[in-house]
Amino acid sequence: MTIKLNIHKTHRQYTDGLETLDVAGSTIGACIDELIHRFPAMKDALFDGKEKLKNQIEIYLNMESAYPDELKKKVTAGDEIYITVMLTGG
Amino acid sequence: MKPKLCAEELERYDRQIYIQDIGPAGQEKLKKAKIFICGVGGLGSPAAIYLAAAGIGEITLVDYDEVVRSNLNRQVLHHEADIGRRKVYSAKEKLSKLNAHVVVTTGCDAVTAQNAKRLVSGHDVIIDALDNPETRYILNKAALDLGIVFIHGAVNGFEGRIMTVIPGKSTCLRCLYRGPVISTPKFPVIGVAPAVIGVLQATEAIKYILGIGELLTDRLLTYDGLKLKWREFKVRKNPKCDHCGRMQEGRQS
């Protein structure tokens, strides 16, 4: 069961420059667990000290916002996840 | 009362009046419109330039900053000679030279929860050209409270994003809120990124005023200039949103 994860540019420094990777999991959270297993620095990039997604992180599943309770959202083979970052500059 | 276009204006706007969706009646709508631009920096500069060129009747510029040299890579309304001047005065001078038919009003206020509604009241559209999330949310709330269309834009590096909010109808900026985001005063950016997004914000404002096309509502459009890729993410109105959750549909068209 392959899920495609898209990594935002600001996080590619933690994924050896990888822009996308295929992971397995039944929820977005499980897919992110695999991402962190392969690239441990992604944990601090995505989560605060209380295991909560950082406020500026946005997750989209199949081009739709996964908010709220993003990590619990179910995924199936062929799904695509985007992990992006809120932009604030002007 | 419909504002009448003078002969000079009819000549100036000839090519856009020639667009079937605009015509003389559309141009009069633009002349009657009043747009609030919050932030006269990377996003606000291109948005203001193209809104003034299009013949928006009244543009209000609000920004408390002064021009510094490091603004000049992207804030194209400001020139070297403007360093040290208030951005709003620098911008007003250029916009008035570009189009003397546009009334440009300025304010040097920092937008706060206390003054936001007073500042934006009476405008048809708010352009969010700010550089920090805290003030964006204040502006979002004021827009919702007063039923004013809010056009959000933001940039970083070569990237940008935009979304239009119709109060009471579409997803607002706060609907995806998870908690405060601390912004750093210095963010990386090259001028072409806010140029793209600022012009899109102006496009949305013009479409809304004219009542044509499809607005970018319930859709977050993201732009990656390095790959020259656009992505459109569907977003949904959050019934529990602390800014718009209790608003009824149809309050504002």
Nearest-neighbour CA in chain A from B196: distance (Å) = 12
Give the H/E segment covering residue B134: helix B133-146
Say yes or no to pLDDT of B2 above 80. Answer: no
pLDDT band at B248 (very low <50, low <70, confident <90, very high): low
**Does A76 reach chain B within 8 Å, measured CB to CB?**
no
**A10-66 pLDDT, tens digit each:** 999 999 999 999 999 999 999 999 999 999 999 999 999 888 999 999 999 999 999
Say yes or no to pLDDT of B207 above 60. Answer: yes
pLDDT of residue B14: 98
CATH of the domain at B188: 3.40.50.720
**Does A14 reach chain B within 8 Å, measured CB to CB?**
no
Chain B residue with the nearest C-alpha to that of A60? B233
Residue B187 lies in a domain: yes
Residue B43 lies in a domain: yes
Does domain A3-85 fall under CATH 3.10.20.30? My reply is: yes
Computed over every residue of chain B, the mean pLDDT equals: 95
Residue B243 lies in a domain: no
pLDDT of residue B253: 37
Long-range own/partner contacts, residues B88-91 (CB < 8 A, 24 or more apart): B88/B40, B88/B61, B88/B62, B88/B63, B90/B40, B91/B40, B91/B44, B91/B45, B91/B48, B91/B61, B91/B63
Phi/psi for B82 (5° steps) reads -90, -5
Query: What are the extents of the domains in chain A?
Result: 3-85
Return the percentage of chain B with pLDDT > 70, whole number: 97
**Does A21 reach chain B within 8 Å, measured CB to CB?**
no
Give A67's contacts in chain B (Cβ within 8 Å). 176, 178, 238
Residue B57 lies in a domain: yes
Q: Which one of B42, B226, B231 has the shortest CB-CB distance to A90?
A: B42
Residue B56 lies in a domain: yes
Say yes or no to pLDDT of B230 above 90. Answer: yes
**B126-153 pLDDT, tens digit each:** 999 999 999 999 999 999 999 999 999 9
Q: How many domains is chain B built from?
A: 1
Q: Which domain holds residue B88?
A: 33-234
Residue B158 lies in a domain: yes
ipTM, two decimals = 0.96
Q: Which one of A55, A86, A89 has the shortest CB-CB distance to B189?
A: A89
Residue B121 lies in a domain: yes
